[in-house]
Every structure is written in C-alpha cells, then in structure tokens.
Amino acid sequence: MYEGAVQELIDELGRLPGIGPKSAQRLAFHILEADAEDMRKLSEAITAVKTRVKFCTICGNVSEQDTCSICRDPRRDASIICVVEESKDVMAVERTRSFRGRYHVLGGAISPIDGVGPEKLRVRELLTRLSDDTVQEIIIATDPNVEGEATATYLIRTLKPIGVNVSRLASGLPVGGDLEYADEATLGRAFAGRLAV
C-alpha cells in the first residue's frame, strides 16, 4: 500500500481489464517516472477518446461522427451484414480484406453468468435494419466460445423466420496448427465445416 495519489492511480489502473495488481503497480511507477510531456499526451488522448468518440447510429461501431466511415462508404455492399460482438472485431475482419459488406456491432455476447441477455445487445437495432428488402444475407461472426455460440444460436433462431439468408463463419483448425493440440470442439467444427475439393 502506497500513500495518496500513487495508490489511487494503482487502484484505478487495476480496474482496467487484464490488469492485475502487479501490472497496475508497474504501470503506475512507469507513469510516475515517465516524461511529463509524454504523460500529458496520454492524458489528452484518454480525454479526447471519451469526449469525441461515440457509436455509429447505424451499425454501433466506434466513430467520431454520427455514422462510421464504413456505413458512409457507398462502395460497401449494403446487401450483406456481418454481425460481430465488439468494434475490435470489425477491425479484425477488415484486416482480412476479404469482406466488402457492412457490419452490425452487438455490443457484447449473451452471458447469463454476467447478466447479459439478448435484450442488452443491439439485436433490436439489427432487426430494424432488416425492415426493408436491402439486406439479403447476415453473416454471424461471433467468437467461437460458449458466449459466442449462445449468441449465434439465438440470432439464427431470431433471423431465420424473417427469411433473410443467415450464415456463420467457418471455424476449425488454425493455419500452422497441429491436430494433436486441437481441442475436441475445434476439431469437430473443422470436420463439420469441411469443404469439397
């Protein structure tokens, strides 16, 4: 335990995801020893992101405008929507350069343990986007974990009756991986999603 401002900084840093007590202490002392100008820039960047960044009114992605650059881009295919859990997932898909449609960010995944049900996600907004006949396909790209699978299952059950084509990202073995290290669920999904050659 440290006195005053140092302990307050350690406590606040420790509230960040993935930062344990030791990491919080290490970061606090780095900030304490760092150049004042560098820390001023860090402080300004944090303040700027909290005051200027908001969520796109169409897809829920982060943006400094009412609509994000992807939703504003007329070259994007409006007939295909890729549904992801978080904004960081949009960037992951964009890095592949293989998807030219639009996105819908749910804002999380169904997790009863954490008290997150479908009503806390942006499912209603997704259904609103389907009210006209523009969207022809929904690609569900949730994480391949228990919460992501629960979310995907819920979305499939909700979207199928509407009549829109629903697909799920294939999952399976990573490139460069070894079969002996693959868990049963991953290997099972790889077999189920196999492609004819």
Q: What is the pLDDT of residues 105-139, one digit of tens each?
A: 999 999 999 999 999 999 999 999 999 889 999 99
Q: How confident is the model at residue 197 (pLDDT cuts 50, 70, 90)?
A: low
CA distance 23 to 29: 10
In angstroms, the Cα distances linking 170 to 38, 91, 186 are 43, 18, 11
Cβ–Cβ < 8 Å for 80, 98: no
Q: Which residues pair with 138 in a beta bridge?
A: 81, 166
Model pTM?
Answer: 0.83
pLDDT in tens, 21-62: 999 999 999 999 999 999 999 999 999 999 999 999 999 999
The burial of 129, by beta-carbon neighbours within 10 Å (0-12 exposed, 13-18 middle, 19 or more buried), is given as middle
